[in-house]
Amino acid sequence: MDILVINSGSSSIKYQLLNTETKEVLAVGLVERIGIDAGNIKHKAKINGEEKVKIIEQDIPNHEDAMKMVAELLTDKEVGVIHNPEEILAVGHRVVHGGESLVKTELINDDIIRKIEETIPLSPLHNPGHLAGIKVGMKIFSAAKHFAVLDTAFHQTMPPKAYRFAIPEKYYKEHHLRVYGFHGTSHRYVYETARDYLKKDDLKAITIHLGNGSSMSAVNSEGHCVDTSMGLTPLDGLMMGTRTGSIDASVVFYLGQVMGMDFEEIKTLFNKQSGMLGIAGSSDARDVTDMLEKGDANAQLCYDMYAYRIKKFIGSYTAVLNGVDALIFTAGLGEHDELMRSMACSELSYLGIEMDEEKNKSLNHAKQAVEIQSANSRVKILIIPTNEELQIAKEVYDLMQ
């Protein structure tokens, strides 16, 4: 079955048309600057084994116009892969935040739309864009069944001791303040891939998604997430490209009371000016690596801090799981940064974690699951390229049966 996967943001739409049987990407594209001057679309399709590309540059006033252009490209005579939009029978929509009411992939109806709308206060930057994409997608691909695939769903198996904050209960009951976790589609994909690759159904794993946004999850032998590093928002946990990660809440009081910063300034500081950017001056790990090789002290500190936090979570999640079978590295840095993987796994032999440095180097940029642990390591160390679009398509396919 061919399934269209849509990730609609406030001013962009990413899309892929995938065949769930062959796992082949038939078409992929990105619409940018919706509602902003100088909009553009880049569409790529595989036609008779040959990749064809079409780029359109024009103003795109709204999401409906953007989705119409996507449909036109998918059916285009030169770069199209279908004859008309009615050939699309299933669409999976990525939704970042499902709150506590949406805990699994759901067929979209008025009730599901209402529940996504109710989570907007928890995800004001993402969910409005998702809703816009859902509503126009259902209009343009009217013959299809549309499904919401939630980034938070994978983490809804966490117990209260992991997801509750130690604040009065009314803030949880009335305002839903708790740990939700994110990158759930990626964590689920690499965990299930590892379980199949290792042929171990009762796999206990720590999944490590390292990108501009980074998170980790502890997954028990039943395949349930029991803890995760991101919290109410994607700000918590690991140090990231521009985000602080975990930080003493009193820093907020100091910045406000002593330095006179307002909430918007603090939010911008923590989300967009901190992390690697704040420590080393760049949010791109490749730039920081170049600086490190030239002896830059801030770049060294940046890598030390980043790896140190990963190691702390490895230690705590090993305790939570009462032992671990596999560490799984994925996403941009997880798949492509040999130095970060090496530093994150160093001096963990007491936990049975030992990396083969030659494998770590030679198998960098892996295109499929690979093992990089030493022969003496009791714990498997894997690199698994993530594929969130394929995971979304798989979950939609399963519900279509």
Q: Would strands 225-228 and 205-210 be described as parallel, antiparallel, or unpaired?
A: unpaired
How long, in residues, is the chain? Answer: 401
Burial code (b: 16+ CB inside 10 Å, e: under 16) for 134-170 equals bbbbbebbeebbbbbbbbbbbbbbbeeebbeeeeeee
- 145 annotated ligand binder: no
| Four-residue CA torsion sign, 115, 119, 124, 127 | negative
Active site residue 151: yes
- 14 annotated ligand binder: yes
User: Same CATH fold, 196-388 and 2-150?
Assistant: yes
Distance CA 79, CA 62 (A): 23
Strand, helix or coil for residue 191 = helix
Is 196-388 a CATH 3.30.420.40 domain?
A: yes
- 7 annotated ligand binder: yes
pLDDT, one tens digit for every residue, the chain (401 residues): 899 999 998 889 999 999 988 889 999 999 999 998 889 999 999 888 889 999 999 999 999 999 999 999 999 999 999 999 999 999 999 999 999 989 999 999 999 999 999 998 888 878 899 999 999 999 999 999 999 999 999 999 999 999 999 999 999 999 999 999 999 999 999 999 999 999 999 999 999 999 989 999 999 999 999 999 999 999 999 999 999 999 999 999 999 999 999 999 999 999 999 999 999 999 999 999 999 999 999 999 999 999 999 999 999 999 999 999 999 999 999 999 999 999 999 999 999 999 999 999 999 999 999 999 999 999 999 999 999 999 999 999 999 87
Strand, helix or coil for residue 349 = helix
Tell the residue number behind the tokens 């939700």, with chain if given.
180
- Give the CATH class of 2-150: alpha beta
Distance CA 12, CA 6 (A): 10
- 130 annotated ligand binder: no
User: Where exactly are the structural domains of the chain?
Assistant: 2-150, 196-388
Residue 117 structure tokens:
């709308």
The single residue of 37, 65, 76, 151 carrying the catalytic annotation is 151
